[in-house]
Each structure stands twice: as C-alpha cells, then as structure tokens.
Structure 1
C-alpha cells in the first residue's frame, strides 16, 4: 500500500508555486484592465507629488475659514443625528430579525432562510445606490438619507446579529428549555444577556461607519455636511471644504474613542 509522503521542501515549493501563479494572474488582470480602459499607470504615479502639493496648499483651513464654522457645525450636527438615529432604529429591527433568523432561535427553517436572503439583499446594495433609488420617491431631504442608511444598516446588522446569536453556547438555551422555559424566556433570559456586549459593539461600529457614509449620501440628497462640502468645493472655497474634512475626521476620532470606552465599560 503506497502512501503519498510529501517532504517539507516539496510542500513549501508547491506553496510558492501556487502563490506565484496567483500573483501572475492578478498582474495579468491588472494589465488587461489597464489596456482596456487606456489607463497610463506611470503618468499617474508621476503626477501624485504635484497633486498632493496642490491638495495641501489649497485645502488647508485659513483664518477666513473660521467665518464658515457656524454653518459647518450645524450641518455636521444634523449629519451626526441622521447617522445615530438611522443606526439605532435599524438595530432594533435587525435584532428582531436576527432572533427569528438565527438557527438556534428561529421558529422555523423557512423563516430563517427568508430573513437571511432579505438581509443579504439589503446589505449588498451600496448606500449610494439606496440614496439614488430613494431620491425618486422622497426627493432631496434628510429623510431620504435616513432611509438609505437605515436599509443598508438593517441588512448589515441583521447578518452580524444572526452570526453573533448562532455563536452562543446552545447548551444554555437547551438548559432553559429543559426546565420548562418558553420561547420568549429563552430569548430574553438566555440569548440577549449573553450577546448584549457583542451586539452593542456592532451598533457602535455602525454609528461610526454611518457618519462617514452620511457625508457621501448628503452629496446626493442635498442635505447635511456632505452637501455643504459640495457647495464650497464647486464655488472654489477650498479652505472651507478642507475645514469640513478636518472636522469630520475629528468627530469620527471622538466617536471611536467614545465607543472604545463604552465597550470597555460593558465588557
């Protein structure tokens, strides 16, 4: 009886060969794409230093930028509220959907399949596409941005919550069922307390992510700090546009630090 023995040298040689083949395929795809769209790689690389110099020269906030601070902070506050509200509302619906969709808590397998399919559909449509679709019905408004973030967040959190619930120890649920606990008691006494920390972390993460996405959505919906950035940029007030970018970065960092402290507190 023959055994296929492979020495360590042969194993690593085959591994390097596979990696080389994958690398060559990726390079071939890039070169083919470059030729197809007539993209000039070297010319683009050469222009990067000049582009960065122009960027730092024009987008650095100046003393004149302070005069725009009031409108910028107001629109930034509106954008933050849309981000937080859409995330919180979506997380409530996502939690209910995840409980029904998780394999360990679903009332029926068909319900789980429907919820998983719906979450996948919502999650794989980009937030920009949601904004463009909803513009036809709700026009340019904060509500349009809210809905765009809501649908994308609902799909994303449903998937994340479902996987979190399924990763829990099923023996605890079985123990509750063994002592006569009903479905709702198993969910509220066994599942949610165990998963609360992880679920909260996902919600905090989505608030941070939605703040960045809300800026982009604002360009389409004509609201928030994204629309204000577009207005300043198109009117060549680059210093004010640079101030917006700086304030968004500061706000995102503050949100991240706050989220980290909350995660540590509930861990």
Structure 2
C-alpha cells in the first residue's frame, strides 16, 4: 500500500514538472523570449551597467535634491501604511472568524481585502491618476488601498491564529464584545500585527518608487527625470540612495521584530 502511494506521488510530481516545463516553453514562445539570447546578452548588459551607472562628483551635487525627494517617498510610505493599518485592523476584526459581528460584515471585509489586494499598486495608481491627477495624493491613495488589502488579510489570519483561551475566559465572565477585543484579541495578536506593519513599510517604499514615476512625485519622479535626460550618473546615485535607505529601514524593522516577538 505504501509502495503504491509513493509511486503515485512520484508520478504526480513528474506530471506536475512536465506541465511546468510545457507552460514555460509556451510562454517563452508566445512572448518571443529566447533563453539563449538572454544568457548571451547578460555580459553585455552588465558591461553597460558598470560603464554608465557610476557616481561622479557632479552627480553628488544633486544629492540634497535626491535626499529631499527620498524623504518625501519614505514619509509618504509610512503615512500610507500606518493609516491603512487602522482601517485594516477594523476590517480584520470584522472579518476574523473569532471576532466577527455577523456573517455579512465578515464577507464584506474579506471581499474588500481581496479586491484591494489582487489589483497591483501600480494599477491603483493608474486608476486614481484619472481622478486626482499627478500629485502626492494619488501616490498616497494608491499605496493606502493596496496596503489595506494586504494588511486586512494578514490581520485576519493573525487574529484567527491567536490563542482563544483568553477569549473564552472573558466570555465566561460575561465581558462585552469591545472588552474581549481590547483585552484579549488585540494583545494576543499585537506582535504579529506590528510585524506585518513593518513589513508593509519596507514594501511600500519600494512600491512608492514605481508609483512616483506615474504620479510625478517623490524619488520615482527624480529617477524618471534623470533617466529620460540620460543622466545615468545621477540615476546611479538615486538607485544607490534607494538601496541604502531600504537596507537601513529593514535593519531597523528586524531589530524591532526581535524586541516585540
């Protein structure tokens, strides 16, 4: 019996691998992508990068402007994430099986999360661009909507996985719904909630660069401006600044996670 089960699993893995290979081949054929050309062109691409994307003294003179736009992007990402976290926490409590008020609100919150999450942030920026134009409000709203979708889903799972012993104990004492949420559910889920918020801040800083290219704001606008004017040395400085800022924020986030988890 075990031998038959192992053989069946082996065949299932083989079939699955074969399907993946076929899909990959068809995708490359439909898009006219050549793996061989991609591999042979890689050394030439790296050579262009090292010969053009380097920081010079002239590009360093633009550092104050770059840092100003980088700060704008970072603070916009933090603002979008923290305000979205408030809405997501409310939707997460409504959507969780452990804390839902009724089935309608649970389904509604999960639907909002699914809709907001499955549409990429860049797509949200393009949609909102038609109504709000190229400004920081558009970038903020695009990050906000995308963050609400992701964090709501994450908060629902965090609340569902939290220990139910405290909830059951407070319920047995006749505690109100608000008291149970404040004294049992949120304290149990808070470390995971904070961890997800920190993760989204890191993610939104990366996403804000692409959004800024569309909305004409932040570090994305500066990157696009220098790229279109073929100022590759300034592009290198912008890219380096983004990488360093993301690494610093990630290190801070990891330290906070170690403290709270």
The residue aligned with 1:48 is 42
Is structure 2 residue 89 aligned with structure 1 residue 95?
yes
Contact 1:103 1:109 in 2 (8 A): no
Is structure 2 residue 250 aligned with structure 1 residue 256?
yes
Match of 1:217 among 211, 233, 251: 211
Is structure 2 residue 24 aligned with structure 1 residue 30?
yes
Counting matched residue pairs gives 261
Return the offset for 1:36.
2.1
Return the offset for 1:11.
4.4
Match of 1:39 among 26, 33, 36: 33
- CA deviation vs aligned residue, 1:12-54 (integer Å, no higher than 9, x gap): 4443332222222111112222222322221222111100110
The residue aligned with 1:6 is 2
Alignment of 1:165-184 (within 5 A): 165-184=159-178
The residue aligned with 1:208 is 202
Distance in 1, matches of 2:189 and 2:227, equals: 44
Match of 1:161 among 148, 155, 168: 155
Structure 1: runs of 5 or more not aligned: none
Distance in 2, matches of 1:244 and 1:74, equals: 11
Match of 1:57 among 41, 48, 51: 51
Contact 2:62 2:234 in 1 (8 A): yes
TM-score (norm 1): 0.94
Return the offset for 1:227.
0.9
Structure 2: runs of 5 or more not aligned: none
Distance in 2, matches of 1:212 and 1:74, equals: 16
TM-score (norm 2): 0.96
SS at match of 1:47: helix
- CA deviation vs aligned residue, 1:41-86 (integer Å, no higher than 9, x gap): 2122211110011012211212221111011000000000110000
Distance in 2, matches of 1:127 and 1:20, equals: 36
SS at match of 1:39: coil
Return the offset for 1:258.
0.6
Contact 2:125 2:139 in 1 (8 A): yes
Match of 2:106 among 112, 116, 132: 112
- CA deviation vs aligned residue, 1:176-211 (integer Å, no higher than 9, x gap): 011121011000011111111111001000000000
RMSD: 1.2
